[in-house]
Every structure is written in structure tokens, then in C-alpha cells.
Amino acid sequence: MNLSLSKIGEFGLIHRIKRLIRTDNSVVQGIGDDCAVIKFNQREYLLLTCDMLVEGVDFRSQEDPYLIGRKSLAVSMSDIASCGGMPRYALISLGIPKNKKIKFIDGLYKGIRDLAKVYSLNIIGGDISRSEKLVIDVSLIGLVEKNNLVLRSGAKLKDIIMVSAALGGSIKGRHLRFSPRIKEARFLVNSFKLNSMIDISDGLTLDLSHVLEESDKGAVIYQDLIPLSRDCSGLEDALTSGEDFELLFTLSIKEARRLLSVNDSFFPIGHITGKKEGLVLIDRLGNPRKIKVKGYTHF
């Protein structure tokens, strides 16, 4: 059967590729998480991630090149944050239309450089090619202490599900201006035992579903507990809109209580259940309904 991409979707394609790939024992985590995790030394793992941003899909050509460049790096930094690590080195590759102005490229790299400087991140190379549309591909290397590594696959029964800030409305400008939650992630992994974590890039329900799939669990979330940003248009926006780039993580009830006792800037939105329960939303009247998982996908 010769299926089209529209039939199997983005994540169906990823699963097909994953089945074809074999790795050796130097790979702690391969395809299926925010970062690949590689053995490095006695104390740390290497984190590797890459993200491709394409004109007309991830940004519009008329948008500020400074913000486009900044976003291209911030997206990959958010992946490093969601595994508990610190970004260290980046390779930036560009596919550039031949009529693109040098001033635009200068602005792009200024956005990349300024964000990199905040986190002492080194830009160490990349590649350049001609293309019909602007394409920015960022490969990022980070480090994480072995005891601080957090993956999608560790959620435990009765864990509290939390997010790092209000959700929704990112399309009104935050998708270009967000700050990767490096500082928040490092605070969390250095002070608390997290069981799983992911960044919300494709929408709350879709990214939560990745945690549930990898952890073999279900979840209940509560409408009244989901924090809405001032630009959010409503519940559906908060549940399904992509590019919030906030952290979504789970931890035990004991650890969640301890976290909230010292820092009230994180929001509990639900808890982890058994796999058979699936993903359930409790509305404001207390009524449960199964959530149809939706969010941004490329196909």
C-alpha cells in the first residue's frame, strides 16, 4: 500500500522512521523525545536537538528578521530546557533565496547572536545553500547532569501535571518573542524530582499526549485550572494552539506541594491516571469528557 503523508500524518511518519533506525549502546535516548541523549562522561549526558524553520510555515517573510532569527534559536533551546539541560553549542544552516537582501541576513544573525549571548551559547558553524524560500536549520548541543535528565517517558500514576505559565494566544506575537524556559527548567531539576517533561510547541493536548504515550499512562486535566494568557481566545486556543513553548511537567504530589510552597509561578492543571482512562477534561460544571487530541501538525 502506497500511503500519502496526509494519511499517516507527521507523527505517523516519525514512528515509521523510528522503526527503521537502530542505535548502539552509546545512545541513551534516540528518536521519540525532545532531545537525543548520548553518553558523555561520568557526570553528564550530551543533549542533541535540531529544528528546521521554513518561510510560510514557521514565519512570514515580512516579519522582523531579528525576531525570526531569535525564534530559530529559541525553539531548539526550548527542547534542551525540557530535558533539564543547558545549551552550549549551535550550528546554523540557511537555505537562502538568491534575491534576499544582505540587511535581512544581518538582522537574522543579530537575533540569533543576541539570544545566544544571554545563555553563553557558542555559534560554531553551519552551512549555506540556495533555496526557493528561506529555511533556517538549527542543530544544538547541550549538557545535562545525569541525575537531572528528564524525558517524556517517566510520568507516574497520580503525578501532578503542571505548566510553567499561561497558555494560548501565542500567534499574536509571543511565538516570535518567547524566552526559552532554561532558567525555570534548571530551577526545577536542581531542586525537585521531576518524573517527565516536554515543551508545549504543538499545543497542550498534543504535547501532553506524547508524554502519555511514552509513559503508557492517561490523564485528567481541569478546565478551571488551565491558565489562559491575556491574548488567549478561549479554552480551545489554550488546549490546541501551538508555539507557547512553556514547560509541561509531572511530579509526585509530595514534590508538587513542596514546589508550590516555595514558588507560586507554576500552575497545576491535572493529574496522571491509568492508560485505560485516556485523556479526560473536567469542565466547569464538573462533567468529564474525553479529549480529542488536536494541535499543530505539518501533515
Q: What is the pLDDT of residues 240-268, one digit of tens each?
A: 988 999 999 999 999 999 999 999 999 99
pLDDT for 80: 98
- Do residue 138 and residue 177 come from a single domain? no
Q: Of all residues in the chain, what percent carry a pLDDT higher than 70?
A: 95
Q: What is the CATH number of the domain that holds 82?
A: 3.30.1330.10
Which of 245, 233, 243 shows the shortest CA–CA distance to 59?
A: 243
- Do residue 127 and residue 176 come from a single domain? no
- Do residue 82 and residue 211 come from a single domain? no
Residue 299 in this model has a pLDDT that exceeds 70: no
Cell numbers linked to 120: 553563553
Cell numbers linked to 76: 531548539
Asked which of 147, 176, 191 is the last residue of a domain, the reply is: 147
Which of 126, 142, 138, 139 shows the shortest CA–CA distance to 37?
A: 142
Residues 99 and 84: their CA atoms lie apart, in Å, by 40
Asked which of 147, 162, 192 is the last residue of a domain, the reply is: 147
Rounded to 10°, the helix 65-82/182-191 angle is 10
The model's pLDDT over 41-78, given as tens digits with 9 standing for 90+, comes to 999 999 999 999 999 999 998 999 999 999 999 999 99
- Do residue 154 and residue 121 come from a single domain? no
- Do residue 86 and residue 182 come from a single domain? no
For residue 77, give every residue at least 6 positions away whose Cβ sits within 8 Å of its Cβ, in sequence order, or none: 87, 115, 119, 121, 140, 180, 182
Any domain includes 299 = no
- Do residue 21 and residue 103 come from a single domain? yes
Q: Of all residues in the chain, what percent carry a pLDDT higher than 90?
A: 88
Residue 298 in this model has a pLDDT that exceeds 70: no
Helices (H), 59-203: 65-82, 102-118, 174-177, 182-191
The model's pLDDT over 113-151, given as tens digits with 9 standing for 90+, comes to 999 999 999 999 999 999 999 999 999 999 999 999 999
Residue 79 in this model has a pLDDT that exceeds 70: yes
Give burial (CB, 10 Å; 0-12/13-18/19+) of 294. middle
Any domain includes 103 = yes
Any domain includes 178 = yes
Residues 118 and 111: their CA atoms lie apart, in Å, by 11
Cell numbers linked to 124: 560554531
Cβ 239 vs Cβ 291: under 8 Å: yes
Region 96-122: mean pLDDT is: 97
Region 93-117: mean pLDDT is: 97
- Do residue 129 and residue 250 come from a single domain? no
Which of 125, 122, 96 shows the shortest CA–CA distance to 108?
A: 96
- Into how many domains does the chain fold? 2
In the predicted model, what is the mean pLDDT of the chain?
94
Greater confidence, 8 or 205?
A: 205
Any domain includes 195 = yes
Any domain includes 189 = yes
pLDDT band at 19 (very low <50, low <70, confident <90, very high): confident
pTM for this prediction: 0.93
- Do residue 123 and residue 215 come from a single domain? no
Asked which of 147, 171, 195 is the last residue of a domain, the reply is: 147
Cβ 35 vs Cβ 142: under 8 Å: yes
- Do residue 179 and residue 238 come from a single domain? yes
- Do residue 115 and residue 221 come from a single domain? no
Any domain includes 296 = no
Amino acid at 89: Y
- Do residue 44 and residue 135 come from a single domain? yes
- Do residue 112 and residue 175 come from a single domain? no
Residues 179 and 189: their CA atoms lie apart, in Å, by 18
Q: What is the CATH number of the domain that holds 164?
A: 3.90.650.10
Any domain includes 298 = no
pLDDT band at 21 (very low <50, low <70, confident <90, very high): confident
Q: Which domain holds residue 57?
A: 5-147
Any domain includes 193 = yes
Residues 178 and 141: their CA atoms lie apart, in Å, by 20
